[in-house]
Structure 1
Amino acid sequence: MEMDSHQALAALAWQIELGADVAVGEAPVDRYALPDRMPGARAPAKPAQGAAAKAPVAAPPVVASDPLAEAEALAAGARDLPALEAALAGYEHCELKRGARNLVFADGMPGARLMIVGEAPGRDEDREGKPFVGRAGQLLDRMLAAIDLDRAESVYITNVLPWRPPQNRDPKPEEIAMMQPFLRRHIALAKPEVLVAVGNHACHALLGKRGILRLRGHWTEAEGLPCLPMTHPAYLLRNPAAKREAWADLLEIRAKLEAAAP
């Protein structure tokens, strides 16, 4: 059917009114295909004739720090107890350090025949920078005095963790693992003859075991030394009836020291 010019213009106006205002070509166009170059974008510059192509410079690889490996290296490098304390003070991977007031390293007589390993500092220990100085520490001093021992002369004391956990919470396994190289080096440098592991977390660090009420009173070995697990003095303060078993443990310690005396 042929249309005259008036009919063609009317049909075109009707299509424009419907929104069909773009002419359709004879070939289909893929509107989702990306062009090789965006309109207005510059073509990549060609290298100058004779210029040597420069290879892209690779960024240096990022080496992740291994907290345990660093702890082992620092501990192994300590030649004496002051150097070990300095190494601990410079160790930055334990988050407990950021919330503690002081590093709690040790107390007592270095080189003493008996070395006591506790769990972690409490509020009083964090304030004074020494292990076992609160109520539990005062009880420990009385217990040692009962078998003629004194921390100032014949006992050396440290903890698994040198920094206080927030709100005195239990140490986390990863925190104990980070501190184990320092603890092992501490024992090697202090050179005791007998170890006492006080509380669950000390047993975990030294023996790889938990369950202090089951472990206490039974001699075992840690770091090549005879080791006796004992209940923590803080537990004895909460459970006075357990002091009878603690007294038996103290007698075991005295007997072991006497048997090993030169």
Structure 2
Amino acid sequence: MSLSDAVSPDAPDPYELLSWYAEMGVTEALDEAPRNHFADPAPAGERGDGQPRLRPLPGRPAAPARPMAAAATAPDDATVSAKALAREARTLDELKAALAGFEGCVLKATAKNLVFADGNPQGRVMMVGEAPGADEDRIGLPFVGRSGQLLDRMLAAIGLSRKDDVYIANMLPWRPPGNRTPTPQEVAICLPFIQRQIELADPDILVCVGGPSAQGLLGFTGILRSRGKWVEYDTGARRIPAIATLHPAYLLRQPLQKRLAWRDLRALKAALDGKN
């Protein structure tokens, strides 16, 4: 009996279902009976309970196992390694290469792509969000989904474009599974890289997009209270004017708050024009 005979016509396609599970960050299937995950591996073709393993259907290659080397790195060691690698990078290309080879963050094991940056590295404005979403993870560029499209329209409203005027990155270059909130440990491990990225880009103005970015880089708490306030961000080489604003994803859920984001954009435009 074929698989199509065993499955109801109304049931979801099993391969689409598995892809959805992977997209949501599911990394392991659990059996009805308890299993000892520390036991010696079962013989080839046999499960730990003595039952035969399920084999991929003809024409459907087995999915390759994702590397999990990052999980073995101790958090403190990973942070030290991240600081050293970031400091050694002399250009943005070198920093991207360092991130691509970095194994200290577990998010790398579940992400499809490294999401480093987009836009113009020589742009006067650098924007930093939190972490990639599903669209960004698939394409490998930040802010390309619905949030990114809204961000582009917001920038265009004050005469800016990411192609010419803005350099865009995220606090974390890998997508957390299921778009979950990054852990403080994950943020701490990746922080040296975004700090070095800001230093190397050396923008005239830094814009933190959303609460996690504003907290991680500027020390703000409560984005609604802290947005629109000018502070200075110290790169170690110079101090850069910085401002926080609301994340486009939040504005999509709370469209009435676009009026606050518009105030922030006007303040950004005025600063670029030397009016404040």
Establish whether TM, by shorter chain, passes 0.5.
yes
The total of aligned residue pairs comes to 199
Q: Which residue, 142, 145, 158 being the options, matches 1:147?
A: 158
Aligned: 1:251 with 2:240:
no
Alignment of 1:112-131 (within 5 A): 112-131=123-142
Post-superposition Cα deviations, 1:26-73, rounded to whole Å, max 9, x if no partner, equal xxxxxxxxxxxxxxxxxxxxxxxxxxxxxxxxxxxxx99711110010
Distance in structure 2 (CA, Å) of the matches to 1:199 and 1:64: 25
CA contact under 8 A between 1:171 and 1:201: conserved in structure 2?
no
Aligned: 1:159 with 2:170:
yes
Distance in structure 1 (CA, Å) of the matches to 2:115 and 2:75: 28
Distance in structure 2 (CA, Å) of the matches to 1:191 and 1:64: 29
Larger Rg: 1
Residue 199 of structure 2 corresponds to 188
Residue 200 of structure 1 corresponds to 211
When normalised by structure 2's length, the TM-score is 0.70
Residue 232 of structure 1 corresponds to 247
SS in 1 for 2:158: coil
SS in 2 for 1:131: coil
Aligned CA distance change for structure 1 residues 65 and 119 (closer, same or farther; 3 Å): closer
| Superposition misfits of 4+ residues, deviation over 6 angstroms | none
Structure 1, gaps ≥5 residues long: 1-62
Q: Which residue, 181, 185, 190 being the options, matches 1:170?
A: 181
Structure 2, gaps ≥5 residues long: 1-73
Distance in structure 2 (CA, Å) of the matches to 1:183 and 1:210: 19
CA contact under 8 A between 2:127 and 2:208: conserved in structure 1?
yes
Q: CA deviation at 1:208?
A: 2.3
Identity of aligned residues (%): 57
Q: CA deviation at 1:171?
A: 1.2
SS in 2 for 1:83: helix
CA contact under 8 A between 2:120 and 2:166: conserved in structure 1?
yes
Aligned: 1:217 with 2:232:
no
Distance in structure 1 (CA, Å) of the matches to 2:180 and 2:219: 20
SS in 1 for 2:273: helix
SS in 2 for 1:259: coil
Aligned CA distance change for structure 1 residues 65 and 213 (closer, same or farther; 3 Å): closer
Aligned CA distance change for structure 1 residues 115 and 260 (closer, same or farther; 3 Å): farther
Distance in structure 2 (CA, Å) of the matches to 1:210 and 1:233: 18
Q: Which amino acid aligns with 2:245?
A: M
Post-superposition Cα deviations, 1:183-240, rounded to whole Å, max 9, x if no partner, equal 1110111110100001111012101232111110111122221111101000000001
Distance in structure 2 (CA, Å) of the matches to 1:210 and 1:201: 9
Distance in structure 1 (CA, Å) of the matches to 2:246 and 2:75: 39
CA RMSD of aligned residues (A): 1.6
Q: Which amino acid aligns with 1:109?
A: N
CA contact under 8 A between 2:75 and 2:185: conserved in structure 1?
no
When normalised by structure 1's length, the TM-score is 0.74
CA contact under 8 A between 1:76 and 1:185: conserved in structure 2?
yes
Residue 32 of structure 1 corresponds to none
Distance in structure 2 (CA, Å) of the matches to 1:239 and 1:194: 26
Aligned CA distance change for structure 1 residues 64 and 98 (closer, same or farther; 3 Å): closer
